[in-house]
Each structure stands twice: as C-alpha cells, then as structure tokens.
Amino acid sequence: MLTELNQGDFMRGVQRIGLVGGLILFFVVLVIALVKFNLSSTLLSSLSSGNVITPEHRIHEPGHLIDYDRDVRPILADNCFSCHGPDPHTPEAGIRLDIREDAILSGAVVPEIPQASPLLRRITATVPNQMMPPPATGKKLSASQIETLRRWLAQGARYSPHWAFVNPIRPSLPTVRQQGWVRNAIDYFV
Ligand code: HEC
C-alpha cells in the first residue's frame, strides 16, 4: 500500500519534471533559433506587416517625388524604348521618349497635365490599336507602373533630378603648403 502510493507520487513527479523540462528546453531552443537565424526581424516584420512600407508604397505617398532614373526610366526602357528610344526598331513610331524635349515637342508628354498627355492615354487605352506598348509585344504595364508614370507627368515629367533635390556634395579640402596658417576649414577656401 505504502510502496504503491510512493510509486504513484514518484511517477507524478517524473511527469511534472518532464513537462517543466520540456518547456525549458522549448524556450532555450526558441531563443537560440531567434539569435542564430535572426528570426526576430522576420517575426517582427510579419507581425506588423500591415505597416511595412516598401519602396513601391512610398512612390504612391502624396508628395513623394518621382525620380526619373530610379522610378521611370526602368519602366520606359523595358516597355517603350525598343520603339521610342535612341535606336528604335520601328522608326515609324516617330516619337522618342528618352529625351524630354523630343517627348514634349512630339506632343506625347504634356508636363504637369497627365490627362492631356497622349503617353498616359496610350498606356491606359483599352482599344487594342491605341494600346501602348502594342499588344503584339506581349508587354503590359501594371497598375502601379501606370500610376508612377501618371505622377511623374503630374510632377512635370522631369528627366533629371532638380538641383534642389540633389544632396550637396562636400568638396574635398585643397591642400595648403603653410599648414600652420590654416585655422579652420573656411580658411582653405580664402
Ligand atoms: C513595338 C513598338 C512600340 C512599343 C514597344 C511602344 N510603342 Fe508607342 N508607338 C508605336 C508606333 C508604331 C506608334 C505610331 C502609331 C500609333 O500612333 O499607334 C506609336 C505611337 C505612340 C504614341 C503617340 C500617340 C499619339 O497620339 O500621338 C505614344 C504617346 C506612344 N506610342 C507611347 C508609348 C509608350 C509610353 C510606350 C511604352 C509604355 C510605347 N509607346 C511602346 C510603337 C511602339
């Protein structure tokens, strides 16, 4: 009787230790996994995925300045320059979209007025013989690419960044023979 009771207690004790030990082991493994595989950042970003801002989202923020080289040129190069670029396969297209003056003079681009720009009309066209790129090319702009081009037109169809938006570059200091004479960085320039 007594030994049976002790045996029961003993088994329950073993079970409890097994449970606690398992939990401790689980957390130790979890912590090692987090540290070793840097899971924390992926976990955190998936937890807050509703708020993650990707460059794609940023383009559509009001006030975000579309950058020709970064945002626009890749779209035009992939979809338009084969016919409207420097070396067009179809010169009959007659329009170059890689040079701002040409794009404006040909009438394709009306800076600041996207709705008046044939460029926007053609990339949003639903009639096949108006669609750009032509359906025969098998290419099609995504809604997000169309929105990028629309905003770019609205912002003035800039082909290079305005000087005001380019980070100033600190000029390297000229070397001066009489080092003792130089008191501060300004002196290098006078
Ligand atoms: C496979 C060649 C080809 C590609 C690629 C192509 N185009 Fe065209 N595009 C033409 C041709 C040919 C014309 C002239 C005939 C016409 O008006 O449909 C033309 C005409 C145009 C016009 C003149 C419309 C007007 O009313 O004056 C615009 C704007 C235009 N394309 C924009 C684009 C844009 C933007 C892209 C890329 C998203 C593009 N095209 C891709 C061949 C192409």
Q: What is the domain range of residue 29?
A: 2-51
Instruction: Tell me, yes or no, whether 77 and 157 share the same domain.
Output: yes
Instruction: Tell me, yes or no, whether 71 and 156 share the same domain.
Output: yes
> What are the CA-CA distances from residue 21 to residues 8, 11, 25, 78 (Å)?
20, 15, 6, 59
Number of separate domains in the chain: 2
Instruction: Tell me, yes or no, whether 123 and 91 share the same domain.
Output: yes
The reply to whether 27 falls in a domain is: yes
Pocket of ligand 1, candidates 84, 105, 148: which has the most ligand atoms within 8 Å of its Cβ, to mutate?
Answer: 84
Question: Is residue 176 exposed (0-12), middle (13-18) or buried (19+ Cβ within 10 Å)?
Answer: exposed
- What is the spatial distance between Cα 81 and Cα 73, in angstroms, rounded to a whole number? 9
DSSP 63-120: TPPP-IIIIIHHHHHHHTHHHHSSS-S-GGG---SSSHHHHHHTTS--TT-GGG-HHH
- Token output for 11: 């088994």
**pLDDT at site 27:** 80
Query: Which atom of ligand 1 has the smallest separation from the CA of 129?
Result: 18
Query: Which atom of ligand 1 has the smallest separation from the CA of 137?
Result: 1
**pLDDT at site 71:** 96
**pLDDT at site 103:** 96
- What is the spatial distance between Cα 137 and Cα 83, in angstroms, rounded to a whole number? 11
- What is the spatial distance between Cα 105 and Cα 140, in angstroms, rounded to a whole number? 25
For residue 61, the CA-to-ligand 1 centroid distance in Å is: 29
Instruction: Tell me, yes or no, whether 111 and 66 share the same domain.
Output: yes
The reply to whether 185 falls in a domain is: no
92 lines ligand 1 (CB under 6 A): yes
Q: pLDDT digits over 64-113, tens only?
A: 799 999 999 999 999 999 999 988 777 777 899 999 999 999 999 999 99
Point out the residues of the chain with pLDDT beneath 70: 1-5, 10, 14, 31-63, 161-190
3-state DSSP assignment of residue 16: helix
The reply to whether 171 falls in a domain is: no
106 lines ligand 1 (CB under 6 A): no
Pocket of ligand 1, candidates 81, 92, 95: which has the most ligand atoms within 8 Å of its Cβ, to mutate?
Answer: 95
125 lines ligand 1 (CB under 6 A): no
Instruction: Tell me, yes or no, whether 69 and 109 share the same domain.
Output: yes
Smallest CA separation from ligand 1 atom 29, residue? 119
**pLDDT at site 15:** 78
Instruction: Tell me, yes or no, whether 33 and 65 share the same domain.
Output: no
pTM of the predicted structure, to 2 decimals: 0.63
The reply to whether 85 falls in a domain is: yes
Counting every residue written for the chain, the total comes to 190
The reply to whether 187 falls in a domain is: no
Name the one residue in this structure whose structure tokens are 């040909």: 106
